[in-house]
């Protein structure tokens, strides 16, 4: 049997690097693609559509393998020029786009018309079913464990992945909580055809992140994340540190919290600078619960080779226990 995600995306291993703000640069994406997975540039980490065009060109000089671009499209008061970003992606000849957010729906016909494969990322089975009906090629389903935005329904992968697989005809990519061969084996056993990883790729040699932050991920355990912005219905899972602890404590305060109060705190928390300059307590650092399973900082090639080899071993070993 062949793997549908590998065939769909033209890659060797069914392992995808998810969109990551400030991290999804050409260094990261090309390293993952060169290792046999699908690297992903983060569209909105580039200040303008023209910058994204240049970053795609730069990535092409670093790998001749396929890579994708993530476009996360939420309604905001002052939105970036989303359509110009989409046009830049189409003009660049990129073959895969990872979409996320309700706002992506209106751009899907245009992306599809350009012959680009769409992986749509979502956190709920009913949203996945809707996206399938709109013609996306694969669903990346994001469980409660995940870094960034898990939504407000808190369904972990062990239940969410098989529920999505049952409800969909298109292939499912399991996202959230996966960082090693065991997680990959479990995701495939649950019916996913591939895995998406973010946090695990942050702790690789090639990730454009300060060494201190990579070490903070290695040092963390499974309890080292916080859910912030829950009271704003915009929950985000981030690394536990002084700042995210303070946000949680403000949100837990009797009477709730005003957005302005948190925004003041978060605006002072320099997430981008923290991951570049290496002080994990200096900003809000996005990370998933899988930090508890990250114990080293390998190259992307070593990571992917090891994961696939171990996943197969774990699957065969588990099967042999059942006679």
DSSP state, residue 287 = -
Residues 238-257 that bind its own copies (CB under 8 A): 254-256
* Residue from the set 9, 71, 147, 160 that interacts with its own copies by CB under 8 A: 160
Residues 14-33 that bind its own copies (CB under 8 A): 14
Residue 50 or 316 with smaller CB distance to its own copies: 316
* Residue from the set 31, 41, 247, 308 that interacts with its own copies by CB under 8 A: 308
Of 20-28, 30-38, 74-82, 138-146: span binding its own copies (CB under 8 A): 138-146
Tokens matching residue 241: 């540190």
Pairwise CA distance, residues 22 & 127, whole Å: 27
Pairwise CA distance, residues 207 & 40, whole Å: 12
Backbone φ and ψ of 322, nearest 5°: -100, 20
Task: Specify whether the CB–CB gap between 19 and 70 falls below 8 A.
Answer: yes
CA atoms in the 13 A half-sphere facing the CB of 252: 9
**CA distances (Å), origin 161, targets 72, 85, 311, 323:** 21, 31, 17, 26
Q: Does 317 bind its own copies (CB under 8 A)?
A: yes
Q: Does 176 bind its own copies (CB under 8 A)?
A: yes
Among candidate residues 147, 172, 106, 124, the one with its CA nearest the CA of residue 22: 147
Q: How far is the CB of 240 from its own copies (least distance, A)?
A: 12
Q: Does 171 bind its own copies (CB under 8 A)?
A: no
Q: Does 157 bind its own copies (CB under 8 A)?
A: yes
Backbone φ and ψ of 163, nearest 5°: -65, -40
Task: Specify whether the CB–CB gap between 3 and 194 falls below 8 A.
Answer: yes
Q: Does 312 bind its own copies (CB under 8 A)?
A: yes
* Residue from the set 90, 114, 170, 189 that interacts with its own copies by CB under 8 A: 189
Q: Does 233 bind its own copies (CB under 8 A)?
A: no
CA atoms in the 13 A half-sphere facing the CB of 216: 26
DSSP state, residue 19 = P
* Residue from the set 105, 232, 297, 315 that interacts with its own copies by CB under 8 A: 315
* Residue from the set 127, 182, 210, 306 that interacts with its own copies by CB under 8 A: 182
Cα of 125 vs its chain's centroid, Å = 18
Q: Does 218 bind its own copies (CB under 8 A)?
A: no
Residue 80 or 156 with smaller CB distance to its own copies: 156
Residue 69's H or E segment, with its range, is strand 67-72
Among candidate residues 72, 35, 31, 81, the one with its CA nearest the CA of residue 209: 31
Q: Does 222 bind its own copies (CB under 8 A)?
A: yes
Of 27-35, 81-89, 98-106, 178-186: span binding its own copies (CB under 8 A): 178-186
Of 72-80, 161-169, 209-217, 274-282: span binding its own copies (CB under 8 A): 161-169
The footprint of its own copies (CB under 8 A) covers 1-3, 14, 125, 143-145, 153-160, 162-163, 165-166, 176-178, 180, 182-183, 185-191, 193, 221-223, 254-256, 289-290, 292-293, 308, 311-312, 314-323
């Amino acid at each position: 049997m062949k793997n549908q995600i590998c065939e769909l995306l033209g890659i060797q291993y069914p392992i995808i690097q998810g969109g990551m703000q400030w991290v999804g640069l050409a260094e990261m994406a090309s390293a993952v693609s060169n290792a046999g997975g699908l690297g992903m540039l983060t569209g909105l980490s580039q200040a303008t559509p023209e910058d994204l065009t240049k970053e795609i060109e730069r990535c092409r000089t670093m790998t001749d393998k396929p890579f994708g671009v993530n476009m996360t499209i939420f309604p905001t008061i002052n939105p970036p020029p989303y359509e110009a970003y989409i046009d830049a992606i189409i003009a660049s000849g990129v073959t895969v786009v990872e979409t996320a957010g309700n706002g992506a729906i209106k751009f899907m016909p245009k992306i599809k018309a350009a012959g680009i494969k769409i992986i749509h990322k979502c956190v709920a089975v009913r949203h996945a079913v809707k996206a399938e009906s709109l013609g996306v090629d694969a669903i990346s389903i994001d469980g409660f464990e995940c870094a960034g935005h898990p939504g407000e329904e808190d369904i972990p992968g062990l239940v969410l992945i098989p529920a999505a697989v049952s409800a969909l005809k298109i292939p499912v990519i399991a996202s959230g909580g996966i960082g090693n061969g065991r997680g990959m084996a479990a995701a495939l056993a649950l019916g996913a055809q591939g895995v998406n990883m973010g946090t695990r790729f942050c702790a690789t040699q090639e990730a454009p992140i300060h060494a201190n932050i990579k070490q903070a991920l290695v040092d963390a355990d499974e309890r080292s994340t916080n859910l912030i912005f829950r009271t704003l219905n915009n929950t985000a899972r981030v690394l536990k540190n002084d700042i995210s602890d303070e946000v949680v404590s403000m949100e837990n305060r009797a009477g709730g919290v005003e957005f302005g109060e948190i925004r003041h705190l978060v605006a002072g928390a320099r997430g981008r600078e923290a991951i570049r300059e290496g002080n994990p307590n200096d900003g809000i650092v996005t990370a998933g619960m899988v930090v508890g399973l990250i114990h080293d900082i390998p190259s992307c090639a070593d990571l992917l080779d090891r994961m696939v080899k171990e996943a197969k071993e774990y699957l065969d070993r588990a099967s042999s226990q059942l006679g």
